[in-house]
Structure 1
Amino acid sequence: MNTETVLHFERLLLPGGWQRDVRLVLEDGLIVSITPDAAPRPGDKRHATGLPGMPNLHSHAFQRGMAGAAEYRGGGKDSFWTWREAMYCFVDRLDPEAMLAIAALAYMEMLEAGFTRVGEFHYLHHDPAGHSYEEPARMAVALAEAAAETGIALTLLPVFYAQAGFGGLPASPRQRRFVTDPESYARLLDASRHALAGLHDARLGIAPHSLRAVTPAALAEVTALGHDGPVHIHIAEQQREVDDCLAWSGARPVQWLLDNAEVGPDWCLVHATHVNEAEWRGMILSGAIAGLCPMTEANLGDGIFPAAAALAGGLGFGIGSDSNIRIDMTEELRLLEYGQRLSHHGRNCLTEPGGGSTGRFLYHGGVAGGSQALAAPAPLAPGSPADLVSLRADAPSLIGRSDDALLDAFVFSAGQGAIESVWRRGCRIVRDGRHVRRGAIVDHFALTLKRLAQ
């Protein structure tokens, strides 16, 4: 049975720019028509300002369960590598039920923040002893269940992880829950495809974890399994990774990847924090997307991506919440810009080359690049799912603002508190800033964290 809904926005940010008095006709959650300069009709559901939903191109959902729990330094220097040991300890306690509860909370918070699709970079495959579950994709099934419970669109990116470091360094016992070989990874992909079968608009990609975690031969074998899905890889996140790659191969990580793999527009290079100009220019030529996660990169002390130069040169980008230390779409965009201001001692570093609205550049770029990286349908287009965000007309920082000035105020001042509603595939699942299932999801999460602490 077809169900038709009509949404009317006083102003709506479409791919071609702002339009006024826009009627969106939806049928079964898909956009049938988009008509600007149209007066509202009786029965239309009326809203002030609408935006396309933002893709979250990089998440490790389970890490939401340890958010804030690694902010204590021991006697030595703290770094990404010491944080990773804390993460391994948390991983040891997780089962499918915990994965479901934690991922549901993370996905709920993403929707409340204006993210309508998540790229789940999923590497927690095996049971605590490191053995495959009877159902090889059991943990992926839990992620799919969390996506179904919350309503978020899911691009699942099962991770291939085979070694602990460059040159074939054997995986450590702490990594036993992640490790696969090409044959078992192929089975995992097939099972993951089955796990996604009941979800609307789901996509399946592949994710070689990093150059340090795969051999060149395995990288070639695994990427051949990707078919038409996206390919995501962590790369050049830490300076130590760059140094180790140089010692192993004589090349920097991004340069090695560009020279030795068929990197193209279906690839997302996550972090790429420590790239030089030749490397980011090579990324532009390849058409790959830079997957930037400013809050996690700051939390882990990774460094600052050279966004001012690279994005001005035309590099596509998207944003991700990665470790989910805090889930806030506007803060990711804001910190991306602020990192450049601190690096370059200037303001409004990320705009079009000729100048213009920073908020508009960041938001539009995040939607376009994130959609490409997650193989998502075109945003706000006929035939696509109706994935939208509406802003409060009475948010103090937005009063008296319109169009790009309003978007600047949303990103840099009002923030997440200005979000009124979020629609995912035409279903209004966030109302007055709260997910419709918030209470039950938070309760399940709380019980799970208490169980894990016992």
Structure 2
Amino acid sequence: MRIWAETALVAGKWAEKVSVEVDVDGRIGTVSQGVDRETAAADRHVSILLPAAANLHSHAFQRAMAGLSERRGPNAEVTGAHDTFWTWREIMYRFLGAFTPETIEDVAAFVQMEMLEAGYSASAEFHYVHNQADGTPYADPAELSRRIAGAARRSGIGLTLLPVYYTTGGLDRRPLAGGQKRFGSDLDGFARIVEGAEDAVAGLASDARLGIAPHSLRAVPAEDLAHVAALRPDAPLHMHIAEQTGEIEEVLAAYGRRPVEWLFDNHAVDARWCLIHCTHLTDGERRAIATSGAVAGLCPITESSLGDGIFDGANYLAEGGTLGIGSDSNIRIALSEELRTLEYSQRLRDRHRAVLATPDRSCGRRLYDEALAGGARALGRDSGAIRPGAVADLVALDAGALHLEGLSGDTLLDAWIFAGDDRLVADVWSAGRHLVKGGRHIAREEIEAGYRRAMKSLRRSL
């Protein structure tokens, strides 16, 4: 397949009249510049061609909760307490009981379709729903991991599946209760889940990957973390950390160290690791992550929704850190909005403008470059650039859109992120699979019908 673009971001530089050849294995072959449209013999002509970003953190099932947690908790008026992440979590746990394997797959396929239409080419699914509602494992312990893979087969998205290890309800090692029972396993049971998930991923296209995800220091005993990390020592490893002040206080009380301090004291954190949220860091913790090669996985829309706090992006990037973007709770699937929210959070905190811009890169360009690099590293995916040999994860913007008319270079990214929205996305390829055409997923009708079916079932059960 050959794509011709009027303008494209090739190996980090803008180029004109670009022809990109995609091999049958879903990787980019030759990239040629200055090729006239008439002589390109292209299968698809586009206006603006970019590398596509990967979504590094998703809990697909939570998409079905969107809009259902915007009231204050039942005791808020009586106690005067504020709603927080912890009250939201209780709503999520109650909601979990209604899911079946079929509804989990239908919701996941819909989420992945929305990601593709927003300009993402791939997703890391931080998958922690493993059991039946009462905590009993399915006959196949990896049943629900297979459902996530099944959703990816339907949507075509590039998947990095991250089975999650979750075994305690807190650092006091209290047993799992309520909705948490769907997450639980012991080390032997988790090994079986990982084996099944690996088999499910093997049934997808060759760009699919398996990773490992110890949920958090709250849910994983200290002595188990090294064992879990060693299950697949070359695979991506993702973990929630330092999202909430309550979490930090709990870890301090149990371990005598803040979460990131403890992690770096006890584990060799490197480029394999993706640390999700990292909202509340000391200067020393921030520098440790920045210089380790690990990716800070930020989810600005969800972190705003939950009132988590603001990540110190400006200092982190100045220290050489790598970050990427995830949609987490999936209440909004909007790549441009995630990037805009990240920059605006820095502006609100620092009362400055263009905080993440550099002398040679605008805000939009810097944000997009970071999302490309961090997402590719976190997913273990050789993507994030238009260059020979890279996975052909590509997105085309509609130059006919009013927000982009007459613009060029980095200003195109600024206009998409700060003036437009994801309706500017015209085409998306994931490992060469042309999944979005004219802004619409090629299987939207079928996937949307499945989602409607799932939502009717879920809401009857609530």
The TM tier, using the shorter chain, reads over 0.9
Matched with 1:389 is: 395
Structure 1 position 51 matched with structure 2 position 56: no
Structure 1 position 359 matched with structure 2 position 387: no
Whole-angstrom CA distance in 1 between matches of 2:168 and 2:75 = 29
Letter in 1 for 2:13: G
Q: Which moved more, 1:41-50 or 1:57-66?
A: 41-50
Structure 1 position 142 matched with structure 2 position 138: no
Whole-angstrom CA distance in 2 between matches of 1:409 and 1:176 = 45
Aligned to 1:39, which of 33, 36, 57?
A: 36
Q: Which moved more, 1:27-36 or 1:363-372?
A: 27-36
Question: Displacement of 1:98 after TM fit?
Answer: 0.4
Map 1:159-238; keep pairs closer than 5 Å.
159-200=164-205, 201-238=207-244
Question: Displacement of 1:271 after TM fit?
Answer: 0.1
Check whether the contact 2:211–2:237 (CA below 8 A) recurs between aligned residues: yes
Aligned to 1:12, which of 8, 20, 36?
A: 8
1:377-406 deviations in Å (ceiling 9; x for gaps): 133332333211101121111111101011
Question: Displacement of 1:248 after TM fit?
Answer: 1.3
Matched with 1:435 is: 441
Matched with 2:313 is: 307
Map 1:249-268; keep pairs closer than 5 Å.
249-268=255-274
**Which structure 2 segments of 5+ residues have no match?**
77-81
Matched with 1:75 is: 75
Matched with 2:125 is: 120
Question: Displacement of 1:355 after TM fit?
Answer: 5.4
Check whether the contact 1:167–1:215 (CA below 8 A) recurs between aligned residues: no
Whole-angstrom CA distance in 2 between matches of 1:7 and 1:259 = 49
Aligned to 2:409, which of 385, 403, 406?
A: 403
Helix, strand or coil: the match of 1:225?
coil
Structure 1 position 286 matched with structure 2 position 286: no
Helix, strand or coil: the match of 2:56?
strand
Q: Which moved more, 1:193-202 or 1:424-433?
A: 424-433
Whole-angstrom CA distance in 2 between matches of 1:147 and 1:356 = 35
Helix, strand or coil: the match of 1:213?
coil
How does the TM-score come out when normalised to structure 1?
0.97
Matched with 2:277 is: 271
Whole-angstrom CA distance in 2 between matches of 1:375 and 1:428 = 21
Matched with 2:79 is: none
Question: Displacement of 1:169 after TM fit?
Answer: 2.7
Check whether the contact 1:395–1:418 (CA below 8 A) recurs between aligned residues: yes
Whole-angstrom CA distance in 2 between matches of 1:293 and 1:99 = 22
Structure 1 position 338 matched with structure 2 position 344: yes
Whole-angstrom CA distance in 1 between matches of 2:440 and 2:180 = 37
Q: Which moved more, 1:59-68 or 1:420-429?
A: 420-429
Matched with 1:246 is: 252
Q: Which moved more, 1:197-206 or 1:102-111?
A: 197-206
Whole-angstrom CA distance in 2 between matches of 1:205 and 1:26 = 26
Matched with 1:157 is: 162
Check whether the contact 2:4–2:40 (CA below 8 A) recurs between aligned residues: no
Whole-angstrom CA distance in 1 between matches of 2:391 and 2:362 = 28
Whole-angstrom CA distance in 2 between matches of 1:216 and 1:42 = 58
Whole-angstrom CA distance in 2 between matches of 1:381 and 1:356 = 20
Q: Identity of paired residues, percent?
A: 46
Question: Displacement of 1:311 after TM fit?
Answer: 1.4
Whole-angstrom CA distance in 2 between matches of 1:215 and 1:251 = 15
1:57-111 deviations in Å (ceiling 9; x for gaps): 0000000011111111133121111111110111111111001110011000000
Structure 1 position 108 matched with structure 2 position 113: yes
Letter in 1 for 2:239: I
Question: Displacement of 1:198 after TM fit?
Answer: 1.7
Whole-angstrom CA distance in 1 between matches of 2:301 and 2:260 = 22
Letter in 2 for 1:59: S
Helix, strand or coil: the match of 1:269?
strand
**Which structure 1 segments of 5+ residues have no match?**
none
Whole-angstrom CA distance in 2 between matches of 1:23 and 1:323 = 37
Whole-angstrom CA distance in 1 between matches of 2:8 and 2:218 = 44
Count of residue pairs the alignment pairs up:
449
Matched with 1:64 is: 63
Aligned to 1:130, which of 135, 154, 164?
A: 135
How does the TM-score come out when normalised to structure 2?
0.95
Check whether the contact 1:31–1:384 (CA below 8 A) recurs between aligned residues: yes
Letter in 2 for 1:8: W
Letter in 1 for 2:36: A
Check whether the contact 1:312–1:350 (CA below 8 A) recurs between aligned residues: no
Letter in 2 for 1:81: W
Matched with 1:94 is: 99
Check whether the contact 2:58–2:124 (CA below 8 A) recurs between aligned residues: yes
Question: Displacement of 1:42 after TM fit?
Answer: 5.2
Helix, strand or coil: the match of 1:58?
strand
Helix, strand or coil: the match of 1:382?
coil
Letter in 2 for 1:39: D
Question: Displacement of 1:193 after TM fit?
Answer: 0.4
Whole-angstrom CA distance in 1 between matches of 2:227 and 2:285 = 24
> Where in structure 1 do 4 or more consecutive aligned residues deviate above 6 Å?
none
Whole-angstrom CA distance in 1 between matches of 2:394 and 2:100 = 33
Letter in 1 for 2:211: G
